[in-house]
Amino acid sequence: MSQKSLKKERGPAILILDFGSQYSELIARRIRETNVFSLVVSNCISIDEIADINPKGIILSGGPNSVYDQASPKCDVEIFNLGIPILGICYGMQLMVKELGGSVTPAIKKAEYGRAPINIDLESDLLCDVKDKSIMWMSHGDSINSLPQGFNKIAHTENTLHAAISNNSNKLFGVQFHPEVIHSEFGMQVIKNFVHSISNCAADWTTNTFLEETIPQIREQVGNKKVLLALSGGVDSSTLAFLLSKAIGENLTCMFIDQGFMRKGEPEFLMEFFDKKFHIKVEYINARERFIKKLKGIIDPEEKRKIIGREFIRVFEEESNRLGPFEYLAQGTLYPDVIESAGTNIDPKTGDRIAVKIKSHHNVGGLPKDLQFKLVEPLRKLFKDEVRKLGSALGLPDEIIKRHPFPGPGLAIRILGEVTDEKLNCLRDADWIVRDEIKKAGLYNDIWQAFAVLLPVKTVGVMGDKRTYAWPLVIRCVSSEDGMTADWSKIPFEILTRISNRIVNEVVQVNRVVYDITSKPPGTIEWE
């Protein structure tokens, strides 16, 4: 992105300094839920850089260290003299206390983890409308022993004397609990108090303002040059297609590469929806034969992924040359992709971690970084739920917005062992039945992913008077927040029965259905 267009980008109203907490991203999400724009930046950000951004409030995140560890992360102490309201959470509060002359010691009785009722000791702006004795989520070893001058204790718990502190005149606050986690009953109230009443942030981060700001930025960035977008039909690339079409119209070309591993009816739906209904130009590339040929005899899952990834890039390069030239490539990079590889090198201007590392297996089906295009990435500041809202506002149907995640290599990694046309057709039919029954039962939106997996062995069965020898099929339904951990879904037996009956009756090559009852960890969501 050019410096020119960067200058016009909205700066964060709340800056979150990251001290290595697993929750830094969650804090940013919670603040965005109050319609305030926030970004996570490195704890090493300089005072000049903060002054340049000029946020209305600063949050110091939690972190795994003890403030007295030699290598514990710090921030410039001048931050406390800027006159900008600051909220320290857990480690962030302990650091503030230590730097301002108070002291921190290991927890008096014991480390406190989990839910704890807080007792409010003193009225304050931070805990305004927080119910006394309500539950907050604690997770800490060290505790504050003595407060710096000007600070008051405003709440305590059974094990923590200083569960919340405030220095009202300097607008410095701290909490030992985690207001950002869902288990903190009035956590969101604490965040709202800090963001709205204490920091005076306007609630102006909305889908409408995003569109008003982003569309001119895209136009300014790409001018009248041609933009290419690899459309997959997922929520990110679909939202991007709608956004870019609104911004640059005919100068956008979408390319949909059909590897042959999509679910039943998906390629047809995609072309019908984008091309015919919304007149967004989509070049359909039928590459089914190329992909299946390359996978002949391949059994190893990693090799399968690599072959699919390589072939995708080859097809993409050939076809973009044929259709081009294009000056820009549009990518559906989201904010968590940008900040995913936790580290301290975050560009304070853009909020990007400098060494961006995306989980390697999720790159399959993506494009390499060294393609000869300039990038347009207008979603790079958004979380997934914000992209869904944007997509919805732009007119995408629930079918796309609420679609379960689907891996880039598609059904090829849900057929164990060699992928053949016969197995693909079989899995496609069975997968369709699983999703159809889950939708009919009204469970689709409560489940993170529901799908079928085909196993490359045959088992004996009996149908009518005939002995059968056919493939078993696995049904996998999981609940999850983010795909990193997951639990198997407790689907009612009647629905499992219906799915099983339909599959063995309607899909001839399958004579047995099993349900996967493994959580992640130790299992993964996909079988590969």
State yes or no: residue 483 binds ligand XMP (CB under 6 A): yes
Minimal distance, residue 520 CB to ligand XMP, in Å: 5
- Answer yes or no whether residue 340 interacts with ligand XMP by CB under 6 A: no
Nearest CA to 252 out of 230, 223, 226, 231 is that of 226
Query: Is residue 409 near ligand XMP by the rule CB under 6 A?
Result: yes
- Report the distance separating Cα 328 and Cα 222, nearest Å: 7
Q: Output the six-digit token pair for 269.
A: 């739906």
Instruction: Decide: is 520 part of the binding site for ligand XMP (CB under 6 A).
Output: yes
Residue 90 bears catalytic tag: yes
The candidate with the shortest Cα–Cα distance to 430, out of 502, 478, 525, is 502
The total of other beta-carbon atoms located within 10 Å of residue 64's CB is 14
Q: Which residues sit opposite 463 in a β-bridge?
A: 466
Segment contacting ligand XMP (CB under 6 A): 358-366, 373-381, 455-463, 504-512?
A: 358-366
Of 125-164, binders to ligand XMP (CB under 6 A) are none
| CA 143 centroid distance within chain | 32
92 in contact with ligand XMP (CB under 6 A): no
- Kindly tell me which residue out of 407, 429, 452, 471 binds ligand XMP, with binding defined by CB under 6 A: 407
Query: Which region, judged by CB under 6 A, interacts with ligand XMP, from 43-51, 123-131, 296-304, 402-410?
Result: 402-410
Region of 36-44, 66-74, 388-396, 407-415 interacting with ligand XMP (CB under 6 A): 407-415
295 binds ligand XMP (CB under 6 A): no
The CA-atom distances, in angstroms, between 125 and each of 171, 173, 190, 241, 488 are 9, 10, 9, 44, 42
- Candidates 226, 361, 374, 498; binder of ligand XMP (CB under 6 A) is 361
Instruction: For CA atoms 151, 49, 54, 24, give the dihedral sign.
Output: negative
Q: Which C-beta is closer to ligand XMP: that of 348 or that of 407?
A: 407
Region binding ligand XMP by CB under 6 A among candidate stretches 68-76, 156-164, 271-279, 518-526: 518-526
Burial class (CB in 10 A: 0-12, 13-18, 19+), 434: buried
Q: In the complex with ligand XMP, which residue's Cβ is closer, 22 or 524?
A: 524
Span interacting with ligand XMP, options 96-104, 203-211, 403-411, 505-513, rule CB under 6 A: 403-411
Catalytic residue, candidates 25, 178, 266, 386: 178
Residue pair 373/329 in contact (Cβ under 8 Å)? The answer is yes
Q: 67 and 142 in contact (C-beta within 8 Å)? A: yes
Position of tokens 């992709």?
337
Pick 78 or 481: Cβ nearer ligand XMP: 481
Cβ closest to ligand XMP, residue 58 vs residue 411: 411
The secondary structure of 278-344, three-state, reads CCCCEEEEECHHHHHHHCCCCCCHHHHHHHHHHHHHHHHHHHHHHHCCCCEEECCCCHHHHHCCCCC
Check if 178 is active-site.
yes
| Orientation angle between helical segments 421-440 and 493-506, nearest 10 degrees | 150
Asked whether position 384 contacts ligand XMP by CB under 6 A, the answer is: no
Which residue in the set 238, 449, 489, 511 belongs to the binding site for ligand XMP (CB under 6 A)? 449
Instruction: Pick left, alpha or beta for residue 249 (phi over 0 → left; psi -120 to 50 → alpha; otherwise beta).
Output: left
Q: Which of 362, 402, 439, 440 binds ligand XMP (CB under 6 A)?
A: 362
Of 88 and 408, which CB lies nearer to ligand XMP in the complex structure?
A: 408
Q: Toward ligand XMP, which CB reaches closer, 359 or 440?
A: 359
Is residue 9 close enough to count as binding ligand XMP by CB under 6 A?
A: no
For ligand XMP, the closer of residues 351 and 366 by Cβ is 366
* Shortest distance, position 362 Cβ to ligand XMP, whole Å: 5
State which residue, 275 or 526, has the beta carbon closest to ligand XMP. 526
Tokens 């230590």 map to which residue?
98
Can residue 408 be called a binding residue for ligand XMP (CB under 6 A)?
A: yes
361 given a catalytic annotation: no
The single residue of 25, 75, 90, 311 carrying the catalytic annotation is 90
364: contact with ligand XMP by CB under 6 A: yes
Whole-angstrom CA distances from 431 to 264, 340, 369, 459, 488 are 8, 31, 33, 20, 17
φ and ψ at residue 330, rounded to 5 degrees: -95, 135
Size of the site for ligand XMP (CB under 6 A): 14
Report whether the peptide linkage leading into residue 325 is cis, meaning its omega lies within 30 degrees of zero. yes
Cα 374 from Cα 380, distance rounded (Å): 15
Instruction: Pick the closer one to ligand XMP by CB: 64 or 301.
Output: 301
Shortest Cβ 516–ligand XMP spacing (Å):
12
Active site residues: 90, 178, 180
Q: Which residues bind ligand XMP (CB under 6 A)?
A: 361-362, 364-365, 405, 407-409, 449, 483, 520, 524-526
